[in-house]
């Protein structure tokens, strides 16, 4: 009898492992799973918290691996050309039950494998059928398992307002991938999806977050609602949008919907669908990287998309970062006197980051800052020196053109650059 129980148990575990292999693999293309921004606390002697106990682990190419990141199901009624889970793709299909996901999460958490759950899904029968199950998983984790770890649920386009509301009560973060930056792109590659089915739930959650935050200021007992906010993901390079198109869309989502993060996911060729770029034309990580740099500059340095990418420059320069690109196009604003310039202007200097700017502002209260002071503050002087003056800084490069400055910075030193130029002229 004991043998029978064990045999059943092992066959059950094998099934779960087989499902896990399929559904974790299918989830790897979604990059919008950062667990930052939530402060859910451990309460009632429960398990886990999302405060300092959570550490974020990222793979080399920026994908987050600290969460149990799975699909609930890879069955999908839609046929998005860029997606491995699309209806027409001939792959093995499987689904977890609600209880299987709950058990897996708790087991993995107890073993210290994960800090939380990132749950997405193909659209099974319809949007509500799928979303209802995802909400049930989050609800069971919170109310039956007393799980206070991080939960990120992927919202299903077209899910009803009631389900979206319930999801907001149990999840730390909700995200709805807008996928294609433009409506044309969406019509071409994800013809079953309607932009409105994504925007309506995003708008609802934005409004409810504000409402709950306001109510919590008055009544502490009001529950948290999506405390880590919303995020979205844009696929880069599957259609012909420019970097400027993508950044414009991202800015609108930050402004209108108070998105916590927009993620940029370079299109990974997984299909020979003739609507897509040819296999082998994977978007370089560098393009993704430039978009993330620009995103950061917009959120923390006060740049606008029009400044970073004016209409005449639709793509970022692959050789230099967007901040340096902007500075080189605006040399008339430089050099800035490091001992006098406003913070808003210092933010624009290549080679000087937010942390260093705070040091500069503190330091100059006590006297004139010199080149040595700046170097000790960790400023990248090989970049910054072309755009600043400070006590004791000579100005050997003021008569250089922007191309020359770019070359010097790229080469790292004038000697290397001249050698590089010489070699270029030889070939």
Footprint of ligand SF4 (CB under 6 A):
76, 78, 80, 83, 85-86, 122-123, 190
H-state helical runs in 234-370: 243-257, 285-300, 305-308, 322-329, 343-346, 354-363
> Whose CA is closest to 123, among 134, 115, 112, 113?
134
CB of 285 vs ligand SF4, minimal distance in Å: 22
Q: Give 64 or 186: the residue with its C-beta nearer to ligand SF4.
A: 186
Task: Supply 5's token pair.
Answer: 């129980």
CB of 154 vs ligand SF4, minimal distance in Å: 9
CB of 168 vs ligand SF4, minimal distance in Å: 21
Q: Give 83 or 236: the residue with its C-beta nearer to ligand SF4.
A: 83
Peptide bond between residue 335 and the one before it cis (omega within 30 degrees of 0):
yes
Q: Give 158 or 227: the residue with its C-beta nearer to ligand SF4.
A: 158
Q: Give 23 or 209: the residue with its C-beta nearer to ligand SF4.
A: 23
Asked if residue 147 lies in contact with residue 46, where contact means CB atoms within 8 angstroms, the answer is: yes
H-state helical runs in 150-275: 161-170, 183-189, 195-218, 243-257
**What's the rounded Cα separation, in Å, for the pair 48 and 149?**
5
Q: CB under 8 Å to 314, separation ≥6 — which residues? A: 242, 243, 244, 245
Integer Rg of the chain from CA: 25
CB of 96 vs ligand SF4, minimal distance in Å: 15
Q: Give 130 or 298: the residue with its C-beta nearer to ligand SF4.
A: 130
* Structural element, H or E, at residue 388: strand 388-389
Q: What angle do CA 200, 232, 185 make, to 5 degrees?
A: 80
Q: Give 154 or 173: the residue with its C-beta nearer to ligand SF4.
A: 154
Q: Give 84 or 141: the residue with its C-beta nearer to ligand SF4.
A: 84
Q: Give 78 or 108: the residue with its C-beta nearer to ligand SF4.
A: 78
CB of 76 vs ligand SF4, minimal distance in Å: 3
Q: Give 148 or 155: the residue with its C-beta nearer to ligand SF4.
A: 155
Q: Give 30 or 243: the residue with its C-beta nearer to ligand SF4.
A: 30
Q: What angle do CA 135, 136, 138 make, to 5 degrees?
A: 65
CB of 271 vs ligand SF4, minimal distance in Å: 11
Q: How far is CA 171 from CA 95, 178, 184, 227, 285, in A?
A: 21, 19, 32, 8, 30
CB of 229 vs ligand SF4, minimal distance in Å: 22
Q: Tokens 């749950």 sit at which residue? A: 119
CB of 190 vs ligand SF4, minimal distance in Å: 6
Q: What is the per-residue burial (b if ≥16 Cβ within 10 Å, else e) of 26-54?
A: bbebbbbbbbeebebebeeeeebbbeeeb
CB of 263 vs ligand SF4, minimal distance in Å: 14
Asked if residue 81 lies in contact with residue 275, where contact means CB atoms within 8 angstroms, the answer is: yes
CB atoms near residue 363 (< 10 Å): 18
CB of 81 vs ligand SF4, minimal distance in Å: 9
């Amino acid at each position: 009898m004991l043998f029978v129980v064990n045999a059943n148990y092992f066959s059950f575990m094998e099934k779960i492992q087989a499902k896990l292999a399929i559904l974790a693999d299918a989830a790897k293309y979604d990059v919008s799973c950062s667990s930052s921004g939530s402060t859910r606390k451990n309460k009632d002697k429960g398990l886990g918290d999302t405060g300092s106990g959570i550490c974020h682990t990222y793979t080399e190419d920026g994908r987050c691996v600290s969460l149990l990141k799975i699909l609930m199901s890879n069955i999908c009624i839609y046929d998005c050309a860029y997606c491995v889970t699309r209806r027409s793709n001939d792959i093995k299909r499987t689904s977890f039950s609600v209880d299987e996901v709950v058990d897996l999460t708790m087991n993995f958490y107890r073993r210290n494998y994960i800090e939380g759950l990132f749950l997405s899904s193909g659209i099974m029968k319809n949007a509500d059928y799928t979303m209802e199950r995802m909400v049930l998983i989050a609800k069971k984790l919170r109310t039956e398992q007393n799980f206070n770890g991080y939960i990120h649920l992927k919202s299903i386009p077209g899910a009803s307002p009631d389900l979206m509301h319930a999801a907001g009560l149990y999840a730390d973060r909700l995200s709805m991938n807008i996928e294609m930056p433009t409506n044309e792109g969406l019509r071409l590659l994800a013809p079953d999806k309607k932009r409105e089915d994504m925007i309506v739930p995003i708008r609802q959650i934005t409004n409810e977050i504000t409402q709950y935050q306001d109510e919590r200021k008055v009544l502490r007992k009001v529950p948290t609602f999506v405390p880590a906010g919303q995020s979205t993901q844009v696929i880069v390079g599957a259609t012909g949008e420019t970097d400027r198109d993508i950044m414009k869309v991202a800015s609108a989502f930050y402004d209108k919907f108070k998105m916590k993060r927009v993620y940029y996911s370079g299109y990974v060729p997984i299909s020979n669908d003739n609507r897509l770029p040819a296999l082998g034309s994977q978007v370089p990580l560098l393009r993704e990287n430039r978009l993330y740099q620009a995103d950061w500059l917009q959120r923390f340095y006060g740049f606008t998309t029009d400044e970073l990418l004016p209409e005449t420059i639709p793509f970022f320069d692959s050789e230099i970062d967007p901040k340096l690109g902007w500075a080189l196009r605006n040399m008339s604003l430089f050099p800035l006197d490091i001992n006098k310039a406003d913070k808003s202007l210092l933010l624009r200097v290549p080679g000087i980051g937010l942390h260093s700017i705070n040091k500069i502002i503190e330091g100059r209260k006590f006297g004139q800052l010199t080149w040595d002071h700046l170097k000790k503050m960790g400023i990248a002087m090989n970049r910054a020196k072309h755009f600043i003056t400070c006590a004791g800084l000579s100005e050997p490069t003021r008569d250089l053109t922007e191309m020359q400055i770019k070359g010097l910075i790229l080469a790292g030193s004038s000697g290397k650059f001249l050698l590089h130029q010489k070699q270029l002229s030889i070939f």
